[in-house]
Amino acid sequence: MPTSLLTASVTIWCTPPTPCLPGQVAWLSADEAVKASRFRRPVDHDRFVTGRLLTRAVLGERLHQAPEDVDIRLGAREGAAPGRPYVDPGPSFSIAHAGSWVLVAVVDPAGPPLPGAASAAVPGAGVDVGVDVESTAPARAHLADLLDAVPAGERPADGWDAESFTRSWVRREAVLKAVGTGLLAPRDDLLLSRADRPAGVVHSGGLLPAPDRLAVRDLELPAAWPSPSTGKAVTLGGREGHPRRSGTSPSAGGGEGATYLAAVALRSARGPVALGSVRVTDGTALLARHGITARTTLDQA
């Protein structure tokens, strides 16, 4: 009898970083406030704080709490990987930011089965999410120095370039954030599909779960700011293909017309897992409902 394939859907909120008002600083925990105070550049401070404010706004609405009452903790809990931020009780979430992008990914309460798969839609319990977004600028400037960071087996057929390396890198970070090890995991404990092929986990070892308990997909970023698809959500289905479009953002800290790539991943503690739908939606409007208006500081990047 085949093992049921767990599917989980994910919603990802996007917003540009914005300076926070004094009243919103109270949303942060004491540890987050200390970390925020250590950033030297205002834009780095604003990315970090915006990610925490957006997370609390999202989880507050999910949990029917005021954002400032959402208790985000760091560490191990039952059903979650060690070292991940979490709320208890609450869904798994992940935060990423680079340039003009701040992303917060949250596992939805249930997800539809993949077409043609013997799968069962399950609540998000026991499924952790990871998301990552990066600019291609570092790889454009230092590609030769960075290639040792990913296994040779992920090399595309036509060789590495800035975009293909960044594609492999965001897939890797998303998976390791979902697992909870981050970049402490040895490079060769995780082998992903070639950068010119649909995202997938080929091999995992060491402290990482088996490959069938991991899922990864390239993420389609909205085409432009200030709001993704003029406020409309973009839904990615569970098909084999994956989008290749990247997000472009002038004055985003990566040079004129900087290119940004992103990926989302799942880790299951319960059995084989797959991504159902991935919905990208407007976090700017969500923050506005809580009195936070996007005013970017990217000219300081």
Full DSSP string of 119-135: EEE--STTEEEEEEEEE
| Lookup: tokens for 126 | 């026991």
21 Cβ contact list (under 8 Å, min separation 6)? 291, 292
Question: What's the pLDDT score for residue 247?
Answer: 53
Alpha-carbon distance 90 to 108, whole Å? 10
Question: What's the pLDDT score for residue 77?
Answer: 62
Quickly tell me which residue has 């931020």 as its tokens: 85
The answer to whether residue 11 scores a pLDDT higher than 60 is yes
Beta bridge partners of 8: 275
Percent of the chain past pLDDT 70, that is, above it, reads: 75
**At residue 234, what are phi and psi to the nearest 5 degrees?**
-110, 125
Band of pLDDT at residue 143, cut at 50, 70 and 90: very high
| Lookup: tokens for 43 | 């834009």
Question: What's the pLDDT score for residue 89?
Answer: 85
Quickly tell me which residue has 């409007």 as its tokens: 285
pLDDT, tens digit, for every residue of 283-301?
988 988 888 775 554 434 4
Full DSSP string of 25-40: HTTS-HHHHHHHHT-S
Quick check: 125 and 79 in contact, CB under 8 A?
A: yes
Alpha-carbon distance 199 to 171, whole Å? 7
Lowest mean pLDDT among 88-92, 196-200, 216-220, 262-266: 88-92
Q: What is the pTM of this model?
A: 0.83
Quick check: 101 and 298 in contact, CB under 8 A?
A: no
| Lookup: tokens for 101 | 């992008």
The answer to whether residue 139 scores a pLDDT higher than 70 is yes
